[in-house]
Structure 1
Amino acid sequence: MSTKTTPNGYTLDDSGQRVVVDPVTRIEGHMRCEVNVDEENIIRNAVSTGTMWRGLEVILKGRDPRDAWAFTQRICGVCTGTHALTSVRAVEDALKIEIPENANSIRNIMQLTLQAHDHLVHFYHLHALDWVNPVNALKANPKATSELQQKVSPKHAKSSPGYFRDIQNRLKKFIESGQLGPFKNGYWTNPAYLLPPEADLMAVTHYLEALDFQKEIMKIRTILGGKDPHPNWLVGGVPCPINVDGVGSVGALNMVSLNQISSIIDSTREFVKNVYIPDILAVGQFYKGWLYGGGISGTSVLAYGDIPDRANDYSPGNLLMPSGAIIDGNLKEVHEVDLRNPDEIQEFVPHSWYNYPDGVKGLHPWDGITEDNFQLGPNTKGTKTDIEQIDENAKYSWIKAPRWRGHAMEVGPLARYVIGYAKGHEEITEQINFVLKTLDVPVTALFSTLGRTAARALEADWAGDKMRYFMDKMIANIKAGDSSTANVDNWDPATWPKEAKGVGISEAPRGALGHWIRIKDTRIDNYQCVVPTTWNGSPRDSEGNIGAFEASLMNTKVARAEEPVEILRTLHSFDPCLACSTHVMSDEGRELAKVKVR
């Protein structure tokens, strides 16, 4: 048993009851979390473990950089497309390739569509059940639920008592059948659930509506990218030509497909404004006193920025989604971020299952090394295949520990909104002030699990508006006579320099995403991804600083240690993606694993 204070200000106490959540479900990938709670059920120590790895970097070595997007996109099937976008930007940066304006608009529409879709799916299907009790919805009065719906969202058409009664009856049959499906294993008698039955019924109804509506949103990416998930991309632009007069032209954008996209954009904006935002505000009214989970969101946040207004310009002033870094909680100073500077972004591995030539020194991604070294610490309880308690003083995660100028940082929608608010971003400031006024809470309420959840909803609303902006911009450009969507001037490798390196950025739904590439003799010499969950889910670094996941759990009071819904509530607010964040490389030709299929 020991007590120690980290440089970033957290006092860790590993005495008390150890609570293990393994696996953490309703996320992408495999994750383990352990906490120590004291006699008052307050979390005094938190350990976040990434329990899986991937091999994309070793697969990419020696390949054609023009194909990298197709491989990196398979890192994740949830935030599908954002890795591909980041990859083509990295290659274009290395080879000095510029894209047409139409390609920039199409890429932005695809990325913004992903943002809106991912945020909807995250709240309703991954996170809502941390706030909403579907079993309690059986006690609701459908007439009172209808009145609540009309109060919080008068423009939503589906609000009659009969409609809610029908949903309640369907839910009752589902639960009484004993086949709870997605509602199984929930802590439905836990006092941590605070919504009245009518709010629960309304939210469960919208859970089902969102499940049906989400497939409509992604038709945009299917039209523009040829398929979804994993739409098609292209170094130098986008692979879909524009032929507005074409009829039945395969793969080309004509007036039929453009009008369909425009209609879906309108439907998306309507659903977000009339369902998603009101639901967040309704949930917030009942949980605004539960402001745990802020962690380092109030001190250290990072964003690379995204959604360039004009093509080929990734300067902060041209990125509609804000960029910058805030440290030590100083909202009056937003630092610029240089992803090429080896002193700014470094990855450390003292508590990660990897080897570095120097085990303490951090490495910039252009010089990244990922050599696996799985070993359990001497104080681990259990075995390699059945860990009972991890030893956090040793290596304990497949996730590395990235740092910005030595600081552990939080990334994601909340980080983007805090930075936008600090920079005086007009639209973001108006959104935040509206929520704070509606819920009657101070600005410090942002730095919480609820604030992180609300930021995603606000960003979905913002993304829908920007989808309309770029759609109108592209149509105007086409009307002006410009139908180009790709630049292939430097497509031939014979035009490339002998060596080149580049970096591509995007703001994935989960946060800041960067790909760093080195090209030598027209082939990939090194490729490294630092993804949002690498930032948020990082283990301790060489100085002992804890990452965003671990910090967010500290000092949270849980109602029942044996039913830690509060742990899930906060971790889910980040939307962890372990498939993105963990990786492994090996020496050339070394066998990593053998899978036998019978």
Structure 2
Amino acid sequence: MKKIVIDPITRIEGHLRAEVEVDENGIVKEAYVSGQLFRGIEIILQNRDPRDAGLLAGRVCGVCTNSHFRGAINAVENAYSLSIPENAKIIRDLMSMALFIQDHVVHFYQLHLLDFVDVLSVLKANPKETTKEAHKYCQKPFRNSNTHYEAVLEKLQNFIDAGRLGPFNSGYWGHSDYKLSSEQNLILLSHYFEALQFQTKISKAIAIFGGKTPHPQSLVVGGITSVADMLNPQRLNDFIFVIKEASDFINRAYLPDMKLLAIAYKDEIKSKSGKTAGNFLSVGGYPINKEMKLFSGGVIFEQDFSNIQEFDADKIKEEVQRAWYSDDEKQEPFYTDLNDDGTLKTKNKDDKYSWIKAPRYDGKTMETGPVARLFISYLNNNTAINSFVDEFLKETSLKLEDFNSTVGRNCARAIESQYICEYIFKLVSNLIQNIKYYDTNTWDKYNFSELEKDASGYIFLEVPRGVLLHSINIENSKIKNYQIIAPTTWNATPKNSDGIRGAYEEALVGIKIADTSKPLEVLKVLHSFDPCLACAVHIIDAKGKSLGEYKVLN
């Protein structure tokens, strides 16, 4: 057996390490995935005013800011049994939906695309043939012209001539796992550049109701503070305009690119590369009307599509036997270091090797995220998504179970983005209807001093990467304990004492690495989950002592 260590894994949020053991044929036989920095936001929240929980929890991550902000606010409201106006619910959902769209597009193009696109191969592309290729996946491809592709080639050549490849530097160019033609590579790379502009525009949609982004400021216990923007026709129009532009890019670039990818990598999909154990979890949410939600909730075990069980929060348990925490009830940080050779301690079943805790649902590791939502919503006959899934499957000749794969996760995100864009206009319409009939309330007044001094509450939310839990325990009007289980906590869970692999580790086992010095296949699998390890380490020194000095070299 040979061990391959990748640390740090780049193009993700946070610090992730992977160690895989491969046999003489390059087949991964075992995998260990480790979060390398301590996540201490729960400790920082202790003894704080519950009304400040959102502002602090929103700093868990620089990407998922709105998700954690909202989770904390909802948890406090649930603890005190506070209701909020319907307009506040809609605006919170509009901000969340815009974040889904932004997150999915940025994930594929800026964080994952280079696992599929051989940048240097692009220079061999024929612009005229590229325009023809693009029409295979869309009737009206995005910015599909000879002059546009010539401009992209010129930009890339300028990078190379200047010796500054920037984000395209140090890639595994020429790797045998790259399967796209030069023209297909050019299509996707051109959309990489377009997506850089896309993310700045979609951020405006979040900021319209959030005040700013990242780290919006308009969410407060009791509702939303952005009533002036809600009542301003120009601001509403600005929001709609941004979403229309986003929808155009998704339908003419992002989704066609996924069709291209699914067809080009069909053999890999059918081989189940990147497949997990088939345990999927979704809590559902985001009402479209009284009868329908954007996502359905439920649980699937071992990919048994005929038996979708109801979600039961009481079946969740979080363990730490193989995570760097003490094994007692306090679960305090307890780092046991690495081996002398710098590898993770994984030889024994009680070795600790990650800062990520080990959540289990009914004793099982779960995959959460776009694939889980797609499976559970589709199989529950959620009409908000079914027609979009059916169309994609028909055009790519795939089956539903094929989404449980590396490429399949990307396809699920694109489909999700497509139907979110479709239904976000319905939410805007609901908001306008309320305003039309003089319902302009966005915050319900309450007296904090009159609330119970001791309370507890929690909230489960579907966010771009999957299921998010925020749980709060309030004592004497201060936060006593706080707990967060993020989507990446579910997907990147260590084995724990039960020896069961989490989704990341399970997806790695069985893949074939063509060149162990260039483990592109490992990166491709892990990136497909959109890892977010930013909920990591927060080190403070109350006495003002210097903890370390660093110098950035140019």
- TM-score over 0.5 (shorter chain): yes
Give distance in 2, aligned partners of 1:304 and 1:584. 29
Give distance in 2, aligned partners of 1:184 and 1:522. 52
Are the structure 2 counterparts of residues 584 and 593 from structure 1 closer, same or farther at C-alpha, using a change threshold of 3 Å?
Answer: farther
Are the structure 2 counterparts of residues 592 and 500 from structure 1 closer, same or farther at C-alpha, using a change threshold of 3 Å?
Answer: farther
Give distance in 1, aligned partners of 2:398 and 2:142. 30
Give distance in 2, aligned partners of 1:522 and 1:499. 6
1:305 equivalenced with 2:257 (yes/no): no
Question: How much does 1:309 deviate?
Answer: 4.0
Deviations 1:172-197 (A, max 9, x none): 12123221111111111101000000
Are the structure 2 counterparts of residues 154 and 591 from structure 1 closer, same or farther at C-alpha, using a change threshold of 3 Å?
Answer: farther
Equivalent of residue 227 in structure 2, options 223, 241, 245: 241
Deviations 1:122-146 (A, max 9, x none): 0000011111111111000010011
Question: How much does 1:410 deviate?
Answer: 0.6
Are the structure 2 counterparts of residues 107 and 392 from structure 1 closer, same or farther at C-alpha, using a change threshold of 3 Å?
Answer: farther
Question: How much does 1:548 deviate?
Answer: 0.6
Asked if the contact 2:458–2:471 (Cα under 8 Å) also holds between the matched residues in 1, the reply is yes
Summarize the alignment of residues 72-471 of structure 1 with structure 2, pairs less than 5 Å apart: 72-156=57-141, 158-232=143-217, 233-242=219-228, 253-291=231-269, 292-296=272-276, 299-309=278-288, 319-339=293-313, 341=314, 344-357=315-328, 369-376=330-337, 380-382=339-341, 387-393=342-348, 394-471=351-428
Asked if the contact 1:300–1:327 (Cα under 8 Å) also holds between the matched residues in 2, the reply is yes
Are the structure 2 counterparts of residues 544 and 93 from structure 1 closer, same or farther at C-alpha, using a change threshold of 3 Å?
Answer: same
Question: How much does 1:413 deviate?
Answer: 0.6
State the SS of the aligned residue for 2:33.
strand
Give distance in 1, aligned partners of 2:475 and 2:258. 49
Give distance in 1, aligned partners of 2:12 and 2:545. 25
Give distance in 1, aligned partners of 2:182 and 2:545. 50
Give distance in 1, aligned partners of 2:434 and 2:512. 55
Residue of structure 1 equivalent to 2:439: 482
Deviations 1:257-277 (A, max 9, x none): 111111111111111111110
Are the structure 2 counterparts of residues 460 and 151 from structure 1 closer, same or farther at C-alpha, using a change threshold of 3 Å?
Answer: same
State the SS of the aligned residue for 1:526.
strand
Give distance in 2, aligned partners of 1:559 and 1:258. 52
State the identity as a percent. 38
Question: How much does 1:590 deviate?
Answer: 8.8
Give distance in 1, aligned partners of 2:496 and 2:265. 34
State the SS of the aligned residue for 2:224.
coil
Question: How much does 1:356 deviate?
Answer: 2.6
Counterpart AA for 2:512: K
Give distance in 1, aligned partners of 2:184 and 2:325. 47
Gaps of 5+ in 2: none
1:546 equivalenced with 2:501 (yes/no): yes
Asked if the contact 2:222–2:443 (Cα under 8 Å) also holds between the matched residues in 1, the reply is yes
Give distance in 1, aligned partners of 2:525 and 2:191. 22
Give distance in 2, aligned partners of 1:221 and 1:61. 29
Asked if the contact 1:100–1:485 (Cα under 8 Å) also holds between the matched residues in 2, the reply is yes
Equivalent of residue 10 in structure 2, options 14, 25, 30: 25
Residue of structure 2 equivalent to 1:34: 19
Give distance in 2, aligned partners of 1:218 and 1:370. 37
Are the structure 2 counterparts of residues 416 and 561 from structure 1 closer, same or farther at C-alpha, using a change threshold of 3 Å?
Answer: same
Give distance in 2, aligned partners of 1:347 and 1:209. 41
Of the structure 1 ranges 428-437 and 394-403, higher mean CA displacement relative to structure 2 is found in 428-437
Counterpart AA for 2:276: I
Deviations 1:322-364 (A, max 9, x none): 211111322122222233x2xx111111110001326xxxxxx
Residue of structure 2 equivalent to 1:524: 479
Of the structure 1 ranges 152-161 and 94-103, higher mean CA displacement relative to structure 2 is found in 152-161
State the SS of the aligned residue for 1:322.
strand
Question: How much does 1:504 deviate?
Answer: 1.4
Asked if the contact 1:399–1:583 (Cα under 8 Å) also holds between the matched residues in 2, the reply is no
The TM-score with structure 2 as length reference comes to 0.94
Equivalent of residue 504 in structure 1, options 459, 466, 478: 459
Give distance in 2, aligned partners of 1:133 and 1:430. 33
Asked if the contact 1:323–1:419 (Cα under 8 Å) also holds between the matched residues in 2, the reply is yes
Question: How much does 1:415 deviate?
Answer: 1.0
Gaps of 5+ in 1: 1-15, 243-250, 359-368
Asked if the contact 2:39–2:355 (Cα under 8 Å) also holds between the matched residues in 1, the reply is no
Counterpart AA for 2:20: V
Counterpart AA for 2:122: A
State the SS of the aligned residue for 1:36.
strand
Asked if the contact 1:22–1:32 (Cα under 8 Å) also holds between the matched residues in 2, the reply is yes
Counterpart AA for 2:465: R
Summarize the alignment of residues 562-581 of structure 1 with structure 2, pairs less than 5 Å apart: 562-580=517-535
Of the structure 1 ranges 404-413 and 299-308, higher mean CA displacement relative to structure 2 is found in 299-308
Give distance in 2, aligned partners of 1:93 and 1:328. 33
Question: How much does 1:595 deviate?
Answer: 3.0
State the SS of the aligned residue for 1:290.
helix
The TM-score with structure 1 as length reference comes to 0.87
**Residues matched between the structures, number:** 545
Question: How much does 1:376 deviate?
Answer: 3.6
Asked if the contact 2:62–2:534 (Cα under 8 Å) also holds between the matched residues in 1, the reply is no
Question: How much does 1:395 deviate?
Answer: 0.3
State the SS of the aligned residue for 1:563.
coil
State the SS of the aligned residue for 1:332.
coil
Question: How much does 1:567 deviate?
Answer: 0.5
Give distance in 2, aligned partners of 1:423 and 1:144. 42
Asked if the contact 1:57–1:584 (Cα under 8 Å) also holds between the matched residues in 2, the reply is no
Of the structure 1 ranges 428-437 and 529-538, higher mean CA displacement relative to structure 2 is found in 428-437
Give distance in 1, aligned partners of 2:449 and 2:245. 46
Give distance in 2, aligned partners of 1:534 and 1:591. 32
Question: How much does 1:592 deviate?
Answer: 12
Give distance in 2, aligned partners of 1:23 and 1:357. 30
Give distance in 1, aligned partners of 2:403 and 2:419. 17
Question: How much does 1:253 deviate?
Answer: 4.1
Counterpart AA for 1:21: I
Asked if the contact 1:191–1:559 (Cα under 8 Å) also holds between the matched residues in 2, the reply is yes
Counterpart AA for 2:283: Y
Give distance in 2, aligned partners of 1:597 and 1:329. 50
